[in-house]
Every structure is written in structure tokens, then in C-alpha cells.
């Protein structure tokens, strides 16, 4: 057997190897059971002891050389240095970046407007006592206004809050005026259709101080409304009723699609309702331990999903909670 010619042949074969499969082939050809080296090793026993020792050592050296040459070449192939072509002009893979849920985005916009007006942020519980959800808000048990929310009850005295107004009472109990807060969080009502989900989000504002007037309410809420929808939108205050405010208003912005002329989106009225508000009822101040002779205030409540629907012009509110990325990725 001619070791030199095997070596030469191997080197030539190796230089042509461009894939892992080629290397496997080389391993079989030079080190496998049918290889020349293998059969030479097997027939060492036919030789005399001196020849056997010399030939054995040489064959083993050749075998180790081939093995490590194949291994080195494998390393080169997987690091892409030789053989594998890399096209550096190909566009890279896009790195997908997540983003905030549209509801969170609306909240953050409202927080920014609130902070710019000196409001700080407060929170209240979602599982609430009757006193905070209704009673202290001037909605006694037999008051027809309790119909306004088909409330989820845990027991007669405990419910899932139907609005964030519970936080007004909780905050006033613990703080003296001046008070200037926005509260936020999940609220619950037994409603389910294209514009209502049983769980939804609200933002509540409360300002209490001496000498607070209805024109303060108008100024602050115009800033909120135009902050969300744009300075070019008109704001309108319409008389309304809430048991916990007196007088009460609903606030509309002019329709962005028709500019107030009337279209399908605004039901041909030119206006879109965006929130409820009013001057805090003296009974509510009293129930929270605040002297209603000395202090006045105003409060407002905004439905976040409603704002999101108007702002993003979606006609099905439930989409915000389906977690379908094809929808969410648009924001
Ligand atoms: N709590 C009222 C609602 O959920 C909104 C509101 C809050 C109205 C504060 C006036 C003052 O509809």
C-alpha cells in the first residue's frame, strides 16, 4: 500500500469538498470499513513484528491526519468561510418591534394632558362596596339612576364597579382640598354589543377647591377634548343628568369626518358625544367628609374605548379585546 499516494489523493478530494455531505463521503472513503487504510490495518497481523510496528505507526498517523483534516474543514464550512456563498446585498430580516395597545395609548395621551393641567394620577379598587359605587355618589338604593348600570353583583353589598366614580369618594375621604386627580381603570356593566363590552375602561377627573366654577370645568374639558381630537374641533356642552353632579353636562366634539355638517358617522348631527361631567353634588362632598359650604368642584368621566373608536374610526369595539394582531398592528 502506498501511503503517499493515498495522502495525495485525499488532499485532492478534500480541496473539492464544499458541503458537510462531501465530508461524510470522504470519511467513508478513507476511514470506512471498505477503505484501503482499514484493510491495511486489518492485515497487519500477517507481517513480522518489526514491519508490523513500523507500518502500524504510519497507518495510525495517516488516519489521525485525515480525521483532523476533515474536522477542520467541517469547521470552516459551518463558519461560512469557504464554500458557502453569502450575499451581503440581500435585505436583512426585519426585527419585529412590539407596541402599546391602543387603549394604553389613549390612556397615556389623556395622562399627559391631565399632567399638563396639574392633575396627578389615582387608582381605586375594581371590586367595590355598594357605598363607593352608588350610595355615597348620591345614588340611594331606590334611586332610578341605579338602572343606568346593569351592575355585576358579588353580593348585595359588593359589586364590580360600574364606573371609576368610586375613586372620587375614596380619594376625598383621605385628602383635603385642593384636590386635582385623574383616576383610571377597568369598569364593568352587563352590556355586550358592537359598541359595548362587559369590561371597559374609564378615566375619571376630579377637581375640588374653593371658588371652583362651571367655567373652570369648561376650560379644563375643552383642553382635554381638543388635546385628544385636535384644536380644530369645536366643543359643545349639553345639559344632562347624573345623580352625583349638579348641574350635569355631556360634552360633544364636532365630527371630524364631515366637519360638523352631518354625515353617517355622526348620525347626521355634526357632533360626537365624548364624555359626561358636572359640578360635584354637595351631597357627594358631604358623604366624603368635605365641607360643601366651603368647597366646590367638578368631575368628569371618559369612556376610553369610545374615544378609541372615534379616534381610530373603528365600528366594532370588541376588536380591541380580540387580541388579533392583524387589527392591533395597525396602531
Ligand atoms: N360616572 C359617569 C358614567 O360612568 C360619568 C361621570 C363621571 C359623569 C363624573 C359625571 C361626572 O357614565
- Please report the pLDDT score of residue 81 as a whole number: 52
Give the residue-averaged pLDDT of 57-63.
Answer: 91
- Please report the pLDDT score of residue 302 as a whole number: 97
Q: Is the pLDDT assigned to residue 136 strictly greater than 60?
A: yes
149, 185, 242: residue to mutate for ligand 1 pocket, most atoms within 8 A of CB: 242
Q: How far is the CA of 301 from the centre of ligand 1 (A)?
A: 4
Q: How far is the CA of 329 from the centre of ligand 1 (A)?
A: 31
Q: How far is the CA of 250 from the centre of ligand 1 (A)?
A: 9
Gap between the Cα atoms of 166 and 126, Å rounded: 9
Cβ-contact 110, 182 below 8 angstroms = yes
Q: How far is the CA of 281 from the centre of ligand 1 (A)?
A: 12
Residue 259 phi, psi dihedral angles, 5° rounding:
65, 20
- Closest approach atom of ligand 1 to CA 202: 4
Give the residue-averaged pLDDT of 197-203.
Answer: 95
pLDDT-derived band at 178, boundaries 50, 70, 90: very high
Write out pLDDT tens, residues 75-104: 887 765 555 677 888 888 888 888 899 999
Q: How far is the CA of 328 from the centre of ligand 1 (A)?
A: 28
pLDDT-derived band at 238, boundaries 50, 70, 90: very high
- Please report the pLDDT score of residue 77 as a whole number: 78
302 upstream amide cis, omega within 30 of 0 = no
- Please report the pLDDT score of residue 147 as a whole number: 65
- Please report the pLDDT score of residue 68 as a whole number: 92
- Please report the pLDDT score of residue 82 as a whole number: 52
**Adjacent-strand bridge partners of 201:** 186
Q: Which residue has the higher pLDDT, 244 or 19?
A: 244
- Please report the pLDDT score of residue 289 as a whole number: 96
Write out pLDDT tens, residues 160-171: 999 999 999 999
Query: Which of 92-101, 130-139, 175-184 shows the lowest per-residue confidence on average (mean pLDDT)?
Result: 92-101
Q: Where are the beta strands (DSSP E) in the chain?
A: 120-122, 127-129, 158-160, 179-188, 199-209, 235-242, 245-254, 271-280, 296-303
Most confident of 45-59, 231-245, 262-276: 231-245
159, 165, 172: residue to mutate for ligand 1 pocket, most atoms within 8 A of CB: 165
**Closest among 244, 263, 262 to 301, alpha carbons compared:** 244
Q: Atom 6 in ligand 1: which residue has the minimum CA distance?
A: 301
Average pLDDT in the chain: 91
Return the percentage of the chain with pLDDT > 90, whole number: 63
- Closest approach atom of ligand 1 to CA 275: 5
Give the residue-averaged pLDDT of 300-315.
Answer: 91
Q: Is the pLDDT assigned to residue 280 strictly greater than 60?
A: yes
pLDDT-derived band at 323, boundaries 50, 70, 90: confident
Q: Atom 9 in ligand 1: which residue has the minimum CA distance?
A: 300
258 upstream amide cis, omega within 30 of 0 = no
- Please report the pLDDT score of residue 20 as a whole number: 85
Give the residue-averaged pLDDT of 197-210.
Answer: 97
Q: How far is the CA of 237 from the centre of ligand 1 (A)?
A: 14
- Closest approach atom of ligand 1 to CA 206: 9
**Closest among 188, 202, 193 to 306, alpha carbons compared:** 202
Pocket of ligand 1 (CB under 6 A): 163, 165, 204, 242, 245, 276-278, 299-301
Q: How far is the CA of 244 from the centre of ligand 1 (A)?
A: 8
Give the CA-trace dihedral at 189, 191, 196, 201, to 10 degrees.
10
Question: Is the pTM for the entire model greater than 0.85?
Answer: no
DSSP code of residue 146:
G
- Please report the pLDDT score of residue 114 as a whole number: 97
Gap between the Cα atoms of 171 and 161, Å rounded: 15
Please tell me the CATH code under which domain 102-328 is placed.
Answer: 3.30.930.10
- Please report the pLDDT score of residue 84 as a whole number: 63
Return the percentage of the chain with pLDDT > 70, whole number: 97
Q: Is the pLDDT assigned to residue 329 strictly greater than 70?
A: yes
Amino acid at each position: 500500500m502506498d501511503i503517499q499516494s493515498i495522502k495525495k489523493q485525499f488532499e485532492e478530494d478534500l480541496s473539492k469538498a464544499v458541503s458537510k455531505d462531501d465530508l461524510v463521503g470522504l470519511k467513508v472513503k478513507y476511514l470506512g470499513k471498505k477503505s484501503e487504510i482499514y484493510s491495511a490495518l486489518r492485515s497487519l497481523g500477517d507481517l513480522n513484528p518489526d514491519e508490523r510496528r513500523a507500518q502500524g505507526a504510519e497507518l495510525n498517523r495517516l488516519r489521525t491526519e485525515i480525521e483532523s483534516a476533515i474536522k477542520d474543514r467541517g469547521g470552516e464550512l459551518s463558519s461560512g468561510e469557504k464554500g458557502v456563498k453569502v450575499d451581503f446585498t440581500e435585505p436583512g430580516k426585519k426585527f419585529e418591534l412590539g407596541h402599546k395597545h391602543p387603549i394604553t395609548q389613549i390612556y397615556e395621551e389623556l395622562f399627559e394632558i391631565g399632567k399638563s393641567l396639574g392633575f396627578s394620577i389615582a387608582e381605586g379598587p375594581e371590586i367595590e362596596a355598594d357605598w363607593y359605587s352608588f350610595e355615597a355618589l348620591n345614588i340611594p338604593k331606590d334611586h332610578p339612576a341605579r338602572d343606568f348600570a346593569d351592575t355585576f353583583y358579588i353580593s348585595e353589598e359588593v359589586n364590580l364597579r360600574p364606573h371609576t366614580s368610586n375613586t372620587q369618594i375614596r380619594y376625598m375621604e383621605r385628602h383635603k382640598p385642593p384636590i386635582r386627580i385623574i383616576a383610571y381603570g377597568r369598569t364593568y356593566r352587563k352590556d355586550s354589543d358592537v359598541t359595548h363590552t362587559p369590561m371597559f375602561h374609564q378615566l375619571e377627573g376630579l377637581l375640588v377647591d374653593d371658588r371652583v366654577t362651571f367655567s373652570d370645568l369648561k376650560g379644563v374639558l375643552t383642553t382635554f377634548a381638543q388635546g385628544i381630537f385636535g384644536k380644530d374641533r369645536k366643543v359643545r356642552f349639553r345639559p344632562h343628568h347624573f345623580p352625583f353632579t349638579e348641574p350635569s353636562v355631556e360634552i360633544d366634539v364636532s365630527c371630524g369626518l364631515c366637519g360638523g355638517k352631518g354625515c353617517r358617522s355622526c348620525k347626521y348631527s355634526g357632533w360626537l358625544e365624548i364624555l359626561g361631567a358636572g359640578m360635584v353634588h354637595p351631597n357627594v362632598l358631604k358623604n366624603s367628609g368635605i365641607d360643601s359650604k366651603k368647597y366646590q368642584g367638578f368631575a368628569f368621566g371618559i369612556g376610553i374605548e369610545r374615544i378609541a373608536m372615534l379616534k381610530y374610526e373603528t365600528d366594532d369595539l370588541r376588536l380591541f379585546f380580540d387580541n388579533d394582531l392583524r387589527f392591533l398592528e395597525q396602531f
